[in-house]
Amino acid sequence: MKDISESQARLRGIFNITVTPFTAGGEFDFAGLARNIERVIGLGYDGVLIGGTYGEFPAMSADERALLFRRVMDVVGDRVPVMLCSAGSDARTVRDLTTLAGDLGGLPMVTPPFVSEVTDAQIVSFFKQMAPLSRTGILVYNAPGIGITVPPAVLEQLADIEGVVGIKQGDLNPTAIDQIANRLAGRLRLFCASDLAFLGPMMCGFDGISSTNSCALPEIILGAYRALERGDAATARELHQLWYPYRALARRHGQPQLVKAAMNLRGFDGRHVRAPLIDLEADVIARVAAELSRLAADPRAGVSLK
């Protein structure tokens, strides 16, 4: 993407939150990453998100993240929009990665600063500093799981900042979703940050979702999303219910650990997580395998095992 206008026009639909495959020694597997990206683009996903929370960015150095951005953009080019997570605890790193992401044609995804006792005014000031750095604009990532939960009233202030293209909303409190959908829709793009519970935000008027589990179950999650797009809520609900047992495992054992295990079982390039995360134990992997077999036996899921 070349500028903010193009980001605003193209930022919609279902984005795959691409996990970062690591070798057992903790090195990047760029060949496997490229295959994973090609898979979801080939299936018709509207975009990809790289180096996010489930892409394990907190376990990477700033130089590694910059390398990851460059390698991914070499693979994707301009075929689909790419969100590049430039979040961090050091504002200097965030500035550098945000600038790089925009220069590469991606859309930087920025969280509030990870600082204790930061005020609402300081959060707004931080985003005012970051937004002009990227020629493609920035995406605000409201990620309560890794930092500060930004309330709807502050998100409204961020929506007024020139260069803020959208919000990736991780706080799925129904009241917050209702306020955001009805007060910010049309002003900027709204993304649901969780594929575990995306039906509600989409029905409220959000513009899209980002999905980690689509790395392991790309067919069924894409099918549910496309059903919602065409107004077939019944099919979307049926498909979403179909993979609930998998979601229960993911909530219990964590993402991206479970996603990578499921990918490996399907012959995809999940590989390993990087410390401090730990790969799943054999007994849990066996439960994941059983769930994949159940889904593969149901023609509605469209899941095949190799």
What are the catalytic residues?
141, 168
Which residues face 108 on adjacent strands? Answer: 84
Output the 3-class SS for 192-209: ECCCCCCHHHHHHCCCEE
- H or E stretch covering 103: helix 91-103
Sign (positive/negative) of CA torsion 67, 72, 74, 80?
A: negative
Amino acid at 5: S
Integer Cα distance of 257 and 275 in angstroms: 11
Which residues face 169 on adjacent strands? Answer: 142, 192
Residue ranges in the chain assigned as alpha helix (H): 4-10, 30-43, 62-76, 91-103, 120-130, 152-159, 174-184, 199-204, 218-229, 233-242, 244-253, 257-265, 282-296
Residues 6+ apart with CB under 8 A from 184: 155, 156, 159, 167, 190
Phi and psi at 17, nearest 5°, equal -80, 100
CA atoms in the 13 A half-sphere facing the CB of 225:
30
How many residues in total does the chain contain? 306
